Amino acid sequence: MENNRTIFAQSRTVLVEKLRLEDGQEVVRKTYSFPTTKDRLRGSFRGTLLGRNKAHREYAGLKYLERANIPVVQALEWTCKRNRLGFVTECCLTTRVFSGNDLAHSLKHEEHPVAEQWANIGASVRKMHDAGIWHRGLSARNLMIGGGSTERASSAQAKVNIAWLDTTKSKTYPPGGMADEKRAFDLLRFWTPLMHHTTPEEKRNFADAYGEDIDLKKWWSHIANWKRASFRRELQREEARFEERGS
C-alpha cells in the first residue's frame, strides 16, 4: 500500500511519481503503459513480447552500471502485466529517491553543479565507456545532481553526488571494445544541448576528468556519413527536450 503521491512527469504512456509507502519509505515509480493495440504491437517489436520489457531492461541496465561502480539511482524492483496474448499492458520500475534535480533543470534555472561534480560527471562517463557501456540515452535529463538517496547512498553516490538514470536503451560490449562511433554518439547527445548553457571552466572540468577535449567537430568525424542525417534529427529532438525540461 502507498499514499502521498507526487507526480514528477506524466504523458500518455509514461508516469513518474514519488510515493510514500506505509512503512514511511519514499520511492520513485516509473510506469510504462501500453493502452492501445498499436502501443502493444509497437512494444512487441521492441522486444517486449518475447524479451525483456522496458522496466526490466532499465532495471538490468541500472544494476549493470552499479556493479561497474558507476553512480546510478538505486533500482529496487520491476513488475510487469501482460494480457492473455502475452502483450505487455503495463510495466513498472521502482527506485530509491535521489534528492536533487536533473541537470537540465539545474542549468536552465542557473543552479550549476560545482567544479567537483563536473569532474565526477566526466569521470563517470569515462568509466562507463571504458567498461564497454554504450548508454544511448546520455543526456542532462537523465543525470541527477544533488544529495544522495533519502535513506542511504551507495559509496559512489556519496562521493560524487550525482546519479545516472534511464538505461532502457543501453548496450554493453567487452571492456575497451566499444567503437569510437558509439562513444561519439553518447558525447554528442550529452554535450550538443549544453554548449551554450555551460561555462568554459565547466567544460574543462568535464574534459580533464574524461581525458578528452570537448570537440563536437572531432566527434562528428567518427559518425558514419549514412547515419548523420538521422542522428542530427535525434539531436534536434534532444535539444528540444532539454529546453522543454528546463522551462
Say yes or no to pLDDT of 181 above 50: yes
pLDDT one-digit tens code per residue, 121-157: 999 999 999 999 999 999 999 999 984 333 344 444 4
CATH number belonging to the domain at 2-96, selected among 3.30.420.40, 3.10.110.10, 3.30.200.20, 3.30.565.10: 3.30.200.20
Domain extents in the chain? 2-96, 100-246
CATH 1.10.510.10 assigned to 100-246: yes
**pTM score of the predicted model:** 0.88
Q: Under DSSP, is residue 239 helix (H, G, I), strand (E, B) or coil?
A: helix
Angle at 9 between CA 199 and CA 91, to 5 degrees: 120
Angle at 57 between CA 32 and CA 231, to 5 degrees: 85
Backbone dihedral angles phi then psi of residue 242, each to the nearest 5 degrees:
-60, -50
- Does residue 78 contact residue 56 with C-beta atoms inside 8 Å? yes
Question: Stretch 158-181: mean pLDDT, rounded?
Answer: 86
